[in-house]
Structures are given as C-alpha cells and as structure tokens.
Structure 1
Amino acid sequence: MKPLFCSQGHDNPDDNRFCRLCGEMLPIVPRSPVGVTAGQMLGLRYRVLHELGHGGFGRTYLAEDTNRFHERCVLKEFAPQVQGTEALHKAEELFEREAGILYKLQHPQIPRFRELFQADWQGKRRLFLVQDYVEGETYQALQRSRQNQGYGFTEADVTQLLLQLLPVLDYIHACGVIHRDISPDNLMLRTVDGLPILIDFGGVKQAAAEVNSQLRRSVAALPAKVTCLGKVGYAPSEQMDRGEVFPHSDFYALAATVLVLLTGKEPQDLLAGNRRQWLKLVNLSPKLIAILSRMLDPDPAKRYQTAQAVMAALGGSLPASDDRATQPPRGHQSSAASELYPATVAVAPAQVGHITQAATVYPPATRPQRGSGFGTIALLLLAAGTVWFTWWIAHDWQPLKQPKPQPSQTTNASTKPPAPRFSQAEQKRKQALDQRREALGIDAVFLSSLVNETFYDKYPDRSGRQLTADAADAPLRAAWDQIANQWLDQLKPLSSEARSRLGQYTDADLKARQADVNRLNLSSRALNDLTDVRFFELFPDQPRNQSILNKPIGQVWQAIAAEQLNAVKAGTALETIKFPEGRFSQQVSGTLKAGEGKAYIAELTKDQVIQIQLQANQETRLSIYPPTSKAAALLEDSAKTSWSGKLTESGFYEIVVVSNAPGTTSYDLSLAAADNISVPDAAQ
C-alpha cells in the first residue's frame, strides 16, 4: 500500500478520504497505472525502480542515476491538478522558485537537491525534482518499533537528538528558511552514521498547496485565504491559524516531537486543554522540563528565539558561523511573517518497505565500553563538522565508466559520454581502489563515511567543503584515496560476513547479541571485553574512552562483536570451569595471540570464599564479573593477577583473560573455592 498525500504533504493510507492530520479532503487518485512504470527512463539518465507515494500534486519515485553508477535517488514529480496553460505556467514558476531556494541549502543532515528537469510522459510535460536517497528509518517508525518491544525513548536519547538537530536548524534559519513541518515522520535516523536527517521541508509542499488554493479561489470566486502548512498538534497556533512562521515555530514543533517520542502519544493528547498534562507522563530532569516548557509556550514572544539560545540552555554551544558545515546562501535574508520561506521536500524511506533497513539508535547507557558517552563538543562536531562524501563514492571515486546507452536512445551529441576529468593514472588508481573494496565486500557508502571522518581530522581546513575535479585538488584526492586504502588494509582481517554487513548493524543486532550471550550464562560485559581487545589491536589509534557506536567506526566494533559471539558459541572463546569430584580447586591453561581473549564461567555459591590466581605476562588483563550485571565488577580490565574474597550472591561468575601483548601469550588460571573460611569480605 502506497501513501497518499494531501496538499500539505501529510501521508495517509491510500484508502483514506480525508487527511488523518489536517482533515483536508484527499485527492481521488486513479487506480490505473498512470504513473511512470518501473524500468522507464526519465531525462535520459534516471531509471525508475518503483513508485514511493502519490498525492494531489504528483508522484514520488525511487530511481537510479545511470550517469552516476546507478546511484539511488528520489524523483519528486510536480503535476498540479490545474487547467490551462497560464495556470500551469504559474504553478511551474512557483515550484521552480521554491526549488531554487532549496538547491542552495547544503548541509550534511539535509538530503541534497541535485537538479530540476523536465520530461515528457504520456504526452504531457512533467517537472521532476531530484534529491539524494537517504537510507534509514523515520523516528516515527523507530518509536513504534520500540513501543512494540516494550521500551521507548529516554531523556538521554532526546537530549542527544536536540544536540544533533539544533545545529541544522541554526543553519537553515540563517539561510532564511523555516522548516514548518518538524515531526517524527519528518526526521530520519540515517543508517550509515546514526545522525538525524531533516526531511520533508515545507517549501515545495507550500508551493503545491498555494497553487491548489489559488485555483479553488479562481473557480469558486472565494475570498483570499492564507494557505497554512503544518501538522495539527506539532505546529503552533499562529502557524496553523494565520500562516505565520518564525524560527521559534520550528522549536515548538521540535519540542512537541520530543514529547511524542518520550510518551508514544499524539501531541493533541499532550498539549490540548491543560497544556501541562504531559508532565504527568514523563520522568525528566527539571532542566529539560524547563527547556521544553519554554519551547512550547503558547506565547511566541516567550519561546526561545534562536537555536543558539536553546543550545545554551542545554549547556552546549553552536559552532561559529565560519565553522558551519556549509555557509548560508548569499543574498538570502531571514523571513518576515508575511513572506514564508521554504526549505526542502523529501520522501522518508521508512515507507518503502523492503528497501529501508533498520537504523542505528543507541541510548548512551547501552554503549558497551568503559567510559562516558559523547560529550557536548563531540556531539556538535559530529553533527555540524562532517560532510559526507557519498557523491564522491558514486561520482568520482568509483571507476569512471559510462552506462550503456538504452535501446531507445540514439547516439548524438547530447548523449555522448563526457570526457574523463581525471588523468589516466588517477582513473586507474580509483578503479583499483574500487576493485579492492568490491573484492572485500565492503559497502561503498560506508567506506566513504569512514574515510571522510579521517580525512577531515587530517585536513580540518577542508571541513564542510567538497573536493572538486580541478587539478588544484589532485593532491587532496590522492590523500583521500590513500586513506581509503589504509582503511581497506585495516578492515581486511575481518571475516567476509562481518565486512559485508558494515553499515547495516543496528540496535536490534546489539540486543540480539546480548540475548544470545546471556543464554550461554555470559554477560555482555564479558563479550565486550573480548570485542574491545580485538578492536583496539586492529585499530590502536581509536580513543578508548569515547562513545563510538554512533560513529561509522562503531559499525566495525559491532562487526567484531558479532565475530566474538560466534567464537563464544563455538566454544573457542568460552569454557566452563568445573571442579573435579571431591575437590574445590581447578587450573586451566591456554595461549592467546595478539588481540585475543577467552572467557570462563564457574557456578559458585553465596558466602563461598574464592581465590583466583592468573600467571601471565604483564600485558595480560583480568576481569571478574558477578552474576548480576548491575553489580560492580570484582576486577575490570585489570593488571592485577589475583583476587580473593567472600561472594555476595550465587550464580555464574565470569573470568575474562585478554592479551594486549604483540605476540603469543601463555597463561595459567587457577580457581579455588571453600566454605566457612574466615577471611575479610573485601578483596585482598
């Protein structure tokens, strides 16, 4: 079932007669296949894969760009239901003006608009807007998925969302653009890097709504009426009633979105009548309650007026204007109440079904590492300092081959492949790099995200600017390719299965691993130890006390965790210590290569006194975990080689031995247990 859109762009089931959010009568869309069929070419380069949705002003398609190595993109058709050449011309003019403003927006957390082109289909001229395809899942879908699994978004989750989105709003507001339609279904969590992406801006939808409104007025001789855009409950009253929008209108919608994610209820149920009733449904810190309350104030003058003010209230700060990922378009000033500036339009892949893969969402508390999560500065750098090179992978980095002409195309001056832009040596270098990547089975977009992060760390002056094909950037392109090759070298030791899934690991994988390892009487803490020692042996330059799961390198950590789980299941990384009959001590021995570890479990009883002794070199580390995961570790990644004390609970105790030595390490581990022996309760 494909979504049906009203004139304001709200998605509805295709059998609805009225919009579920604004109540507008929905257009009657013919059931016959009047849209572009799969496999058809548009603009001599875009091959349609299938339709994503349709509404009163056109259809949206998933397509592949045959001029960019079949990279997926989204085509937004603009075919308003107007009659007459003059009306159509006016509609196209309005659409092109709005699309031109959108084209100027360049931010890594906004789907990039590529071009606007015309194509003839079924004897009629159509306008199509082309934008990047974002692979991920909407926050609406994430919230429903979490609800079905019995948990929801936490204060830490929504605080991180605010920290990562406010720099984006600061950027678009500086461009004079107001989003006007922020809601959980217009925010996506991008699979490749775990960043929130702002989609479905109101500008183009506003153009379509305005055209339809003007048409109805001209036909029925109705008085002029302001065309308003926004979702009921999310948009403030001045926006819905009078069509007035300001930056604080977006902050209102963002706060309403946060409440919906926290509670799973619609904003009408939270903010109608007694506007403070939402306080009974959340358990938040006084600081966040005060911030959300001000963002949701019914008096526009009392709300935060800038993204900087909201960020300051959260305890962070936005980057200086010179450090923004992309500077605002020149000559585009802030909007006034009477002049509504648009932003973008996008289709959420969460509606595509099998095409969309689950996105990565990690509450900070679930990060399997030692140390705290992202600090505010790291979050802002990640949100505002990274510009992804997906275009580079698809356009420049891959082999410079041209797609085969379609049978229906004739070879003429307009369809001849363009001349190569790089030297023959550079083309060969890029082709060899791409062949290496394909041989290792690593996703191109994922590798691009890894390389970008390293590249911008090495060349911070390039942050926010894409490399060009000019000769002046040739040394930087060579550096980028060199970094890519270095990453391929580091990823090569992973198994082929692990490499093939890079970029696709999700929070569901994390939870599934935890469940699998728990069934073996082992905790995720022990599995994390085995993963960490392998990870840092392969990637010694990675920071040890920072959250990494929301970064591209976090996908590599997850891949290694999956490998370690397989080793645990196979018995190569897990062994049970059992005392021989009539004895209360046991000794085991083993050898570990660099970056290897082994876990042992032993079922022990409360009030027993145990002694654990490890004999190994100084670069071997020992961890001892009690049965309850919430209880503190007896030892954790410690250089100490012994522990003794009285046990406080019964169950399976875990002993993990890992080696940080460069070569092979031999070790002996002994465990002794006895009852009713008087020793201090504390570890010796």
Structure 2
Amino acid sequence: MEIGSVLAERYRIDQQLSAAAQGVLWRAADLLAGESPVALRELRDPAAQERFRAIWPAMQAVLHPQIPRFGGLLEEEGALWLVREWQEGQSLSQIQRQRSERQLVFGPGEVLLLLRQLLPPLAVLHGRELVHGDLNPGNLLRRDQDGLPVLLDFGLLQQAGLRPLTGATAGYAPRAQGRGEAAAAWMDLHGLGVTALSLLSGRPPEQLLGPDGAAAASAWRIPESLNLEAPYRAVLERLLSERPGERFEQAREALQALQAVVMPESTGPQALSERTVVLAPAAPVPVPVPAPTPALPSLGRDPDASAQSPSGDQAVSARSRPSAEARQQAAEGRLWPVVGALLISAVLGTAIGWFLLSRGRSPDGAPSTDRDLVGRAPSASLPPAEVDQRQQLLSRLRALQVDRSWFLQLVDASLLARFPERNGRLPSDSLEDAPLRRVWNELAEEWLARVEQLPPDLRARLGQLKDADWQKQREALTKQGVNPRVVEQLVSASAQNLLPGVVSGSKPPEPYLQLWYAAAMRGLGDVRIEKLKARPGAPTVLSSRVPSGGARLIAIQVPAGRRLVLGINGTPLMQMTVYGADGEVVAARGPLRVVTLTPEAGSPVQVLVTNEGVSSGLLTLSCRADRLAPTPLPEVDPNPIPDPATGATGVVDGMADPPGPKPAGAAKPQEEPLAPPPPAGAIQGDGGVTN
C-alpha cells in the first residue's frame, strides 16, 4: 500500500507506524469525517484474517473510554483491514526513555495511580472473554487530552480459553503464555505487574528476573531502593506471581487490593536511586577581592594632611547628614496620622464583616451547601487517592464540556436512589462514609461513560434541554410520512442504550430526563428516510451506508394483492424491525434476515434498520412483489362408492381379489414352497425333534 492511496473510497493512507507478524499498522485519515485520524491494521495472513473475523464483533462491543473504539472490517487488495479509533499521546515506553535521559523514574504514587486507572478497562475487556496478550509500556499510551492511560495494540488479542498467540514482548508475558496454556485474564495482570516494576526501577524485565526461572513472585528482584510500603509490595508480588494460589485471577480482585494501599504524597516522577551524574550545579569558586589601592597624595599638599582631615566628599557628607535626618524625622511625623486612620478603618471593617457574616450564617450550624464533589466542602481534606480521582473526573468533565452542576445532581440522585434509607443525606468526609464515597465514584464513572456516547453539541446542552427540543424533530418526521409508532420505537431504542431500565413510552424524572431528551434527539436526528417500490417479478435493490448509532427508514410501496419478499444484509450489529401500514409490528426487532409479508401488511411497509456498532456499515436491501401461491385443491377419492361384494373403498387395483374361480388367462397366485422333508433317522414327536 502506497502513501496517499485511498482505501474503500474513504481512508487515505498517511503513514506506516509498524510492521510485525500480526500485521502492518498504518495511520490514515477518514475523508468522510473531516479527515480525522484513524488507525488501520493490514492483515494478509489467512489465519489471522479468519481469527479477527470471528473475534471482531466482540471487540466492537467493548465500550470504555480508555479502550479505542473498533470500527468496521474492510477487504481490499487481498488484505483484511481493521479500523480503530486513533488516540493521540505518548506511550509509557517513550516517557520512560525521556526520563531515563534525565535519570528519573516513575514514582510509587504515579505507578499506583496508573494501576488503578488501567484495571477498570482491563476488567471490561476481560468481561467480554477477551485477553489482550501483550501488555507492556509500549502498548500503554498516556492520552494528551486528559492524561489517562489507554490500552493499545490488540494484534495478539485472543478469546479466553483458547491457545494464546506467539509474538508477545519478551519479558512481560508469563511463562505459561509461552508454553501455550489457555489464555486467561491473569496473564494480562502479570504483564501489568512487570510493567509496574519496570517503570518503578527504570530497568528492563531481563535485569529484574532471577536466574531460577520459577513461577513464583520470588523469581523477580524488587530493588530495596524502591522503599515500597508492605501492602504495596504485597500487591505487586501477587501481580508478578504465576502460581494459582498467589496470583490475581481477575482485574477486580487486583483493583480491590490496590484500593487499600495508601496513596503516597507525591504522584510524579522521582530521581533514580543509582544516579551517577550530579545534576545540581557546582558551587562557584570564590574570586579573591583585591586590596584597595591607597589614594595618591595631591600635588602641593602634605601627604599626612589627607589622613588627618576629611576629604572634600566626606566633608560634604558630614555637612548634609544633619539636614537629611531632620527631613526623615519630619516625614515620620507626618505618617502617624495616616497610620492611625488605617487602623481605625481596619477595626470598623472587621466589625461590619462579622456582623454581616453572623446574619447570613445558617441556623443551628447547618453545613454549607458549597461543594466540589460528593457533597464535601472545598476546604475538607480527603485521602490523596480520592483527591486524584476527583481531579481526573473534573478534568474529563471539562474536556467533554458537560455542565458540572447537572452532572453532580445526576450522580447524587443515583446514589440516593440506591440507598433510600439515607433519606437524602449525601456522604460526608468521615471514615464511616468512605464506602459510600467509593460507590459515588463508581456511579460517576458509569454515567460519564454513557454521556461520552453523545455527540458534542448534545453534551454541551445537558441540563438545559426542554421537551420542545425533541418534539420539533418528531413533528418533522411525522410530516414525512413516518408512522408515530416508528418514531416511538426510535426514541425507545435510543433511550434504552443510554438509560437502561427505562420503560418504553415513559419519561424519567429530572435529572435523568435530560439524558432522555438527548437520546431522543440523537435517535430522531440520525434517521434517513428512503422510498422504494416493490416490482413484480424483478427485485428492487437499495444500498446505503448507516453511520454508527444511526438508522435508516425504508418505506416500500407494495402493489395491491401482492406479498412482499424482503431480504436485508449488513453488519452483525445492525437490527431490523418491519412495520405494517397501520403501524403494527409485522416482523419483530432482530438481526438482518429474509422475511415474507402477506398482503394484510398493507402499503407502504416501513422497514427500520439501526446500526448499534461503533463504525458505519453498508446496508443492502432487496425486495420483490410476488403473487400469492395458488390454493391447493382438496384430495378426491377416486372410488368413493364401496364395493358391494367386500364393502371396501379406494382404488380397485389395490383391493384383494374376490373369492371364486379366476377367469381364463389370469395369473395364478404364487404358492408357498413346501417345507423340506425331515432328515433320515429323525422322528417327529409332539414336543419337538429327537435323535
């Protein structure tokens, strides 16, 4: 593939990033999305193509803000192309090299924060029964947008339980993976543990692994200079271990253990303990000050006279000193009234301020309603880990341009709905409410992941949307002939994706109602209407590209008295629903398929196709109007009158011959052969044969 060539009339190849056994990685520009960058992986190996065709739908279903979204599959020039969302930033290996040049390493607090940030996306990936297979600093990127770590390079991704692929980065994959044992989630956790140890020490894995080659954590040399706390060190050892009784099996177990580790005060880099270069500048060498040169005697004057009497400058200074002191004393005398006035003003201002504050104070010492997050006062102190988590949340809210006040109300309402026994009381900063604050943070992450699915213009309007905003789109579709029940289906499907559990046809209360409005506007705004006529005998074909999260509504005119044969092809994440002319569902929502509709469905028939994938997909629809199949005639008895001799009915040839003499020339019935005579010497008796 040449630089500058266009793939599938959409992706322009801009740069080759890497070439490995798992394919060639390219950076491309999406010409249909304003030339936004995307990542393309080119696969030419037939086995790799077959593997990714089977696993790609599961990859498209992985949704987490720290995992790139996976697009479609393209087949061009004998290769399979995988489309993935582009992420801008620096890999941890690049950051590690830059710091190594300055003799810096990742600090314990920084690595602990990284582990806590990486385990949630790993848990989502493992929840889909997928194993990354190659976790190392080169495949972990620190995103420029928000500073969060992102998982990259899924070339060795494998389904859990299958044989892992070869080619993982040496030193980071466990030995069991090299032996071909079944892929499991703990293998990714092991790679994450080796990554953490390498970042902390600034050394590659081969310098940290002991010579015994055992699978236990003791095989790894954790430098004593790291000065890790005992709980921190214990979690790191479990991440490094391969033994079933010692290692973490799931990401949530490791995350729970890391939450109990106290966050160090510093979450930034620190100096390498084995540094050899002194970075502090050397102290300057003192320069000797030369002794003052004695003044030369003036001409015609006694040399000793200058020592006995002051010079001219000294005399002038002596004469001017009394007048300067007098002016200074006079100035000080004039300043005292000013100082007194300032003191009186300060006393009066303080008194007035205390009076006003006492009038505005809440009765009974009620706490202030000012809050930053989770209902705590801005001046309250929390553990460093929670502070870091809150700062990250605020950064993401600012990056997404989401109204902070509305989002806090959303998370608060979710927390109080889960714990109704609190009667509207939000968690405080006390140690007893730490579990509730943890639940609040988890709810905030879940809601933020859902809000990220909305387009930027809708995200910015959350908290200000009204009922009239989505009603305009509804009326516009109705005027174009869209059945109101189809509109309801569009709104319900979009709302279910954003607000699971909402009953179809109902609206939730505020602040959830804002998300319902946004979902309705997105669902109705992404609809494109197509019109077709089904012809007798010849199929009518329509091809259309459905964007991610979008929908296509095809209205098909069917001739009277004809049945409609309808076939639709597309991506596995597309769903179809068919409505009759009266708005009733004649083919329930489900995968794309072939259906046949009777004339009772009426005309026009409306077909709704939605794309639930993270990338656009091509839709192909074929329809034909056929005549109704002729009604089969009932079976007729060829001999309905019973035979007078036997009383039997049916075909005469199938009846038995009547008794009596046969006519001449009639075939004689075949006689049964006679039994052979008994052998000589045998005597037949009543009970059998004896010799």
TM-score by length of 2: 0.40
User: For the pair shown, which has the larger CA radius of gyration, 1 or 2?
Assistant: 2
TM-score by length of 1: 0.41
